[in-house]
Amino acid sequence: MNIWQRLRNLDRRIIFILMALGVGLPLLKNIGLPVRVTHDVSSVFNYIDKLNEGDALLLSYDHDTGTLPEMVPMSTAILRHAFSKNLRLIGMALRAEGSAIGRQAFRRVGKEFNKEEGVDYVFLGYRPEITATILGMGTSIERVFPKDDRGVLVGDIPLMQTVHNYGDIAFAISVSDDDTPVYWINYGNARYQLKFAPAVTAVMATTFFPFLNSGQIVGMVAGLKGAAEYERLIGRKEMASRGMDAQSIAHLVVIGFILVGNLAYFATRKRNQP
């Protein structure tokens, strides 16, 4: 039996082992495959980068736990960028599960930068009525969120002393796995001229291309690749970059087996004919 025949009869367990290694090793160690930064992601990065120290940035966690692998890396990268610029961060959620996710992210990343809750950042919590919440915050954030998620009166929080509505917020981002950013565009941007960008799952990206083309949103961070691009821009490659490395290696392994399988088939086809 020559090499081509051996390859045609390759034990499938070898394929499974190679695929497991292709996915697992990049997750354990950052290989650092190149990532091309798109205009949509760089636009979001550049807008935040040009904000002045002390400007307020609103980050809304509008997603569930089922999309954490895409959502957490992008929100973490955005938070690290904002905290490094000494911006004031205001967090909230329009999805119940997003409240716990956002609270954890704010406090974890805030601790990395030695930020003080209530002074440098605040997490307001969850509100269920999307349209009413977005519209209401345009006139009074305190009326919509009387207390933050700790139970502290918003009027007593130092950060919120100078942030009353969208007029005091320099930029807003919705981290979402559905069409919730459309509400932010329709009611936050169109009515109150709130500068806005969505950070969404890859499958939702096409929904927002018309808004990009019309200039209604500053930019967009889409999927794990978008998160990896943002990590590259802030110079800190972590979860998203490793995930993209694993995805790329897995694709190469699959392509390699397809090529080898076809070569083995054509190399042995004539010999198998009567």
Query: Which domains are present in the chain?
Result: 3-29+246-272 (no CATH), 39-236 (3.40.50)
Judge whether residue 30 has pLDDT over 80: no
User: What is the DSSP-derived secondary structure letter of residue 185?
Assistant: I
Strand segments, DSSP code E, in the chain are: 56-62, 88-93, 121-126, 171-176, 196-200, 221-222
Name the nearest CA neighbour of 107 among 93, 123, 96, 119: 123
Judge whether residue 268 has pLDDT over 80: no
Integer Cα distance of 19 and 16 in angstroms:
5
pLDDT-wise least confident of 76-85, 166-175, 256-265? 256-265
**pTM for the model:** 0.87
Per-residue pLDDT, 273 = 56
The answer for residues whose C-beta is within 8 angstroms of residue 6's C-beta and 6 or more apart is none
Tell me the pLDDT of the chain averaged across its residues: 91
